[in-house]
Structure 1
Amino acid sequence: MQIQLGIVMDPISAITIKKDSSFAMLLAAQAKGWPLFYMEQSDLFLAQGIASATVKPLQVFEDAQNWYALGEARTIALSELDVILMRKDPP
């Protein structure tokens, strides 16, 4: 079964991958073959009573210089995702 995983987080461009637990979770999910979708808090909205977001497909890499790649943005209903991690300013 392929899980569609979304993550709401601080800008991925500013993380330190060696100590970021969100990044570690993304690597593990990607290793399982789960499609990843990236969003920031400002990408979330309500449209005609439907929780929605502008998401970007995400790939992550264990490379300190090039640790992520984002695809083209698209708008979806959050119900299309199986899991949503809310990792805004995690401890």
Structure 2
Amino acid sequence: MARKLAVLMDAIAEIRIAKDTTFALLLEAQARGYEISYLTQGDLALRDGTPYARAARLQVRDDARDWFSLAEAAWQDLRDFDV
């Protein structure tokens, strides 16, 4: 079973992949088999003391023209993530 990584970052469509260290970490995490979910600060919520996020599965590529794919976002309990 893949380990689950939730990443809170700026809009991924606006990053410069050649200079973005978070993107470099995402490439490595994906290469190591992590299941990556993407969220921004506005996607966070607290329900009855439980942290949730509206997160989308993310796939990244080292391609300056097409560096990411996002699945449809859904609310997820952040305690379900490993990292």
Give me the TM-score of the superposition, normalised by structure 2: 0.96
Distance 1:75 1:45 in 2: 9
Q: Which amino acid aligns with 1:78?
A: L
- Structure 2: gaps of 5 or more residues: none
Q: Runs ≥4 in structure 1, deviation > 2 angstroms?
A: none
Root-mean-square deviation (Å): 0.8
- Structure 1: gaps of 5 or more residues: 84-91
Q: Percent identity?
A: 43
What is the number of equivalent residue pairs in this alignment?
A: 83
Task: Deviation per CA, 1:13-56: give whole Å up to 9, x if none.
Answer: 00000010000000000001110000000000101221000000
Partner residue in 2 for 1:71: 71
Distance apart, 1:2 and its partner CA: 2.3
Give me the TM-score of the superposition, normalised by structure 1: 0.88
Partner residue in 1 for 2:61: 61
Partner residue in 1 for 2:19: 19
Ranked by relative contact order (alpha carbons within 8 Å, sequence separation 6 or more), the top structure is 1
Partner residue in 2 for 1:51: 51
